[in-house]
């Protein structure tokens, strides 16, 4: 049977969810029935021309884990940067036009981001941003999203855009949340809550976009790509160990996407027919190799830890190469932007956006559309379209570790 502490967590969570459901992101709930909205086919996004289909229950009948905690950058930022002085914000149309509310939320997408889909798979509501919630216990019991657009593994990556919350600061915020759980629930319950939850990490791409590729501080003369990748992976390794010491036991570590195929670099490197920039993609593949090797080492080093590495590059390239079978027409042009491939200028107004984002792979200069996010999330959850998570997908990790909690 489940431990007494874990049962207490779910009981507290259920009571709080019933009494203060509207304190969680309102876009998830039908105000008259508290039904969660989810599209019929999780591999495709909700359309701006059709309402989401209400189900009688979440993706699963009850939460599979107590909470989902998220650390990362703009790939998973759900609104933290709305509260910061920065150019890296997505709080204006047309961002969010295909989201459940059809309003901008701070997500760098036309609709949902990957962790929105994963939350539904786990039976959880959308996870609120750290800076957007009130700080009350009930706002955090199902998880907190600490991700900040422009953040990187290196503290100063992305600083030219303004304020952001670095990886180190996000981990400190997570530690603060943990301490609040300890004070409010007691140490044993807090430990069970954190160790039974999932922590999702998606960060590192800005260390290339805003640091290495811009040659900040003459970094290219100090580090060859191989050395820079190894430095980033070793830094990530230490941060995962720090999180482990805060009683995190279930990690999802995301690799980096093929930004050499992003519209910004296609126009900057003058790609003729939408061919990806191989020298950039080679660096990304190398980083992913180091990170996968690092997570495999940690699996053997950290007792009771469940760590999966998901190769976003591999999953994304499968979509690009087989775009027709996935239903995409455009592989190079961003739906929203200006210039060649719509990659010269960032998405700034609804007039710059295409009519139908669902047949595009790229939403703006750097970020994929909701449709791509749904496919990648399905791969993370149960390898639906292609195997990209090692040594197992998230569904298998959750259920295998749940079995270990049975007496």
**Architecture of domain 68-257+276-312+377-405 in this structure:** 3-Layer(aba) Sandwich (3.40)
Place of tokens 């775009």: 323
Q: What is the DSSP string of 14-38?
A: HHHHHHSGGGS-GGGB-TTT-PBB-
Q: Residues 252, 380: contact at Cβ < 8 Å?
A: yes
CA–CA separation, 236 and 239 (whole Å): 5
Residue 104 CA, chain-centre distance (Å), reads 17
Q: Residues 292, 231: contact at Cβ < 8 Å?
A: no
Q: Decide if 210 is catalytic.
A: no
Q: Residues 232, 287: contact at Cβ < 8 Å?
A: yes
Segments making up each domain of the chain, as ranges: 68-257+276-312+377-405
CA–CA separation, 74 and 71 (whole Å): 10
CA–CA separation, 169 and 72 (whole Å): 11
Closest CA to 381 of 321, 331, 315: 315
CA–CA separation, 164 and 31 (whole Å): 34
pLDDT the model gives residue 60: 63
From the candidates 73, 100, 318, 364, give the one annotated as an active-site residue.
364
CA–CA separation, 5 and 2 (whole Å): 8
Q: Decide if 364 is catalytic.
A: yes
The pairing of strands 360-362 and 250-254 is unpaired
| Residues forming a β-bridge with 198 | 68
Closest CA to 246 of 286, 305, 295: 305
List the structure tokens of 51. 């309402």
Q: Residues 163, 115: contact at Cβ < 8 Å?
A: no
From the candidates 142, 367, 370, 378, give the one annotated as an active-site residue.
367
- Secondary structure, 3-state, 278-317: HHHHHHHHHHHHHHHHHHHHHHHHCCCCEEEEECHHHHHH
Q: Decide if 77 is catalytic.
A: no
Segment-wise mean pLDDT, segments of 10 residues, the chain, 407 residues? 46 41 34 31 36 40 93 98 97 98 97 98 97 89 97 95 97 97 97 98 97 94 95 97 97 98 97 96 98 96 96 98 97 97 95 97 98 98 96 95 54
List the structure tokens of 149. 């657009």
From the candidates 13, 17, 74, 330, give the one annotated as an active-site residue.
74
Q: Residues 193, 181: contact at Cβ < 8 Å?
A: yes
pTM of structure:
0.87
Give the number of other Cβ atoms within 10 Å of residue 241's Cβ: 13
* Length of the chain as a residue count: 407
């Amino acid at each position: 049977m489940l431990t007494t502490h874990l049962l207490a967590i779910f009981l507290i969570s259920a009571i709080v969810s019933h009494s203060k459901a509207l304190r969680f992101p309102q876009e998830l709930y039908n105000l008259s029935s508290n039904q969660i909205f989810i599209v019929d086919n999780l591999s495709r996004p909700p359309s701006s021309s059709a309402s989401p289909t209400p189900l009688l229950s979440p993706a699963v009948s009850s939460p599979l884990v107590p909470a989902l905690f998220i650390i990362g950058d703009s790939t998973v930022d759900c609104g933290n940067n709305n509260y910061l002085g920065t150019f890296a914000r997505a709080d204006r149309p047309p961002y969010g036009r295909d989201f459940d509310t059809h309003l901008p939320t701070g997500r760098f997408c036309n609709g949902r981001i990957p962790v929105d889909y994963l939350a539904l798979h786990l039976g959880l509501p959308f996870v609120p941003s750290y800076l957007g919630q009130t700080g009350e216990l009930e706002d955090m019991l199902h998880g907190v999203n600490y991700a900040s657009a422009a953040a990187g593994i290196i503290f100063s990556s992305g600083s030219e855009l303004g304020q952001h919350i670095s990886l180190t600061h996000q981990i400190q915020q997570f530690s603060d949340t943990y301490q609040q759980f300890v004070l409010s629930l007691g140490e044993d319950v807090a430990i069970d809550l954190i160790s039974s939850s999932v922590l999702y990490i998606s960060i590192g791409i800005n260390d290339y976009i805003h640091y290495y590729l811009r040659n900040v501080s003459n970094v290219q003369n100090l580090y060859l790509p191989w050395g820079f990748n190894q430095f980033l992976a070793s830094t990530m390794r230490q941060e995962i160990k720090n999180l482990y010491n805060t009683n995190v036991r279930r990690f999802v570590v995301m690799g980096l996407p093929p930004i050499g195929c992003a519209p910004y670099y296609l126009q900057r490197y003058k790609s003729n027919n939408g061919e990806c920039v191989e020298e950039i993609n080679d660096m990304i593949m190398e980083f992913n190799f180091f990170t996968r090797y690092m997570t495999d080492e940690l699996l053997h080093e950290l007792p009771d830890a469940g760590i999966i590495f998901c190769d976003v590059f591999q999953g994304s390239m499968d979509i690009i190469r087989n775009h027709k079978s996935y239903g995409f027409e455009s592989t190079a042009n961003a739906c929203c932007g200006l210039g060649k491939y719509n990659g010269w200028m960032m998405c700034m107004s609804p007039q710059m956006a295409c009519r139908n984002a669902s047949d595009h792979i790229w939403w703006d200069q750097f970020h994929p559309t909701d449709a791509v996010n749904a496919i990648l999330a399905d791969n993370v959850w149960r390898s639906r379209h292609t195997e990209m998570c090692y040594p197992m997908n998230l569904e298998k990790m959750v259920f295998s570790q749940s079995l270990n909690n049975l007496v």
